[in-house]
Chain A
Amino acid sequence: MSEQILKGLRDRDPRGIARAISLVEENDPLADEILASLDDSLVDQAMVLGITGPPGAGKSTLTDRIISKYRSQGKRVGVIAVDPSSPLSGGAILGDRIRMMGHALDQDVVVRSMATRGRLGGLCAAAGAAVRILAGSGCSPIIIETVGVGQSEMDIIRLADITALVLAPGLGDDIQAMKAGLLEVADLLIVNKADCAGAETLAMDMESIAREGSGKEKDSAKVCMTVASEGKGIDDLLAAIETVDASHRESGERKARREKAYDLEVLDWAIEMIKPSIIKKIEEGGLDRKGDPRMQAVKLLEKE
């Protein structure tokens, strides 16, 4: 069984790749073997592009156009599209793919929809592993489309080498909310639906916010204008992505980010792995529910 999947991965068989991502997502015992089998040099070299922004800004449509451009350059493109899980049922509607169905029959466009499964940072817990599987199967770039975000969904900053924040005119309130968040840390700002009223003003606002940023390289933060539904502005966007990527590779920023992201993902997994034993202790009724919950937690860990 595992041999078959590993072989499928090596052969870039669509089903093998898809199974591998599922097994990692489900924390299957085979996940370790799959991840250990990946070609590290491919994973190291792949460019990971994050597309984030509020719901309805045009993330999926933009992703579709970006895929087309990279395909015309002969690149094999991976896409991970994340949508939210229902907090009530745990179910989800994964609908980002609708905008990308034009690439459905292209074997060199690998699209995987994933649900957040309770994670709140805009991605799912297995997103990092899924990116590495796609990279290991020869995809570069890999585009990650986050859930529609509000203020603090920052997971994408960690996982992506380059993060593009997509905004659209008419969503002004969202920008206010994001001033102290994503807007500060995104590498590229995209004003989509640039043919709509208010786009110019939005672009000017974003340019000034980007310039006033914390100063670390942000003087060069670029604002791109696009009309994704008509494919306008995509060439400029790709050129901007390439410029940022080249400068990050040269300055060592890319390497530094990846190292930091690696450490944080280890921390994430470690916490995930400790959780069950703590939950078990709580469920087994070891609590007297006296005093503050924080002190109970200290007591619980002392018993460890």
Chain B
Amino acid sequence: MPEQKTYRVLIGKPGLDGHDRGAKFLARALRDAGFEVVYTGIRRTPEEIAAAAVQEDVSAVGLSSLSGAHLRLFPAVVEALKNSGAGDIPVLGGGVIPDEDIGLLKDAGINEVFTPGTPVEQIIAAFRSACETQEARRT
């Protein structure tokens, strides 16, 4: 079996939104694609997610939001990572996100944004690519 690097990623839901079906689905899909997924559950503050990402030494952070608060919460996680000295960890986001917000989120430092209907293979490929870039940066 070819030796493939095992990437560690974090999947979390910032804010008060309790709809975790998407986050759980993606966590399982990433597991099945060979990722180690630290799942931090629902209703986390951006600071808690950043602190967990640092302690767990993940190569990427995935955020899910279905409540409409993504414009506030996703950039807050990016900011919290910076404040923890981990601004280099890429952040990817997904959920119910209007097209016109995608550019705003990317401007705020979100690596990739996924909207409903995105094929899961595409999301996994984006995580893999983000992890590879991050790993290359480190060594």
Q: Could you tell me which A residues sit within 8 Å of B by CB distance?
A: 1, 13-15, 17-19, 21-22, 85-86, 88-95, 97-98, 101, 104-105, 110-113, 115, 117
Contact = CB atoms under 8 A, between A and B. Distances in A.
Contacts of A97: 38-40, 52, 56
Contacts of A94: 36-39, 56
A115 B39 CA distance: 13
A41 B22 CA distance: 47
Interface of B is mostly: mixed
B57 A91 contact: no
Most chain B CB within 10 A, of A19, A88, A93, A115, is at A93
Nearest to A117: B6
B93 to A, nearest CB: 20
Given A98-B41, A101-B41, A104-B48, A15 B54 contact: yes
A96 to B, nearest CB: 9
Nearest to B86: A15
Given A91-B33, A94-B36, A98-B41, A14 B52 contact: no
Nearest to B41: A98
A218 B116 CA distance: 58
Nearest to A13: B85
Contacts, number: 87
Most chain A CB within 10 A, of B34, B41, B57, B86, is at B57
Interface of A is mostly: mixed
A86 B6 CA distance: 12
B34 A91 contact: yes
A228 B33 CA distance: 34
B44 interface: yes
B133 interface: no
B34 A111 contact: no
A95 B40 CA distance: 7
Given A21-B57, A93-B37, A113-B38, A14 B31 contact: no
B28 interface: yes
Contacts of A21: 57
Q: Which 6 residue pairs of A and B lie closest in terms of their CB atoms, listed nearest first?
A: A18-B57, A91-B31, A104-B48, A98-B41, A22-B57, A91-B34
Contacts of B48: 101, 104-105
A92 B28 CA distance: 8
Interface string B32-70: 111111111100100110011011110000000000000
29 contacts: A14-B84, A15-B54, A15-B57, A18-B55, A18-B57, A22-B8, A89-B31, A89-B33, A90-B6, A90-B34, A91-B32, A91-B34, A91-B35, A91-B37, A93-B39, A94-B36, A94-B38, A94-B39, A95-B41, A97-B38, A97-B39, A97-B40, A98-B39, A104-B47, A104-B48, A104-B51, A105-B47, A111-B52, A115-B6
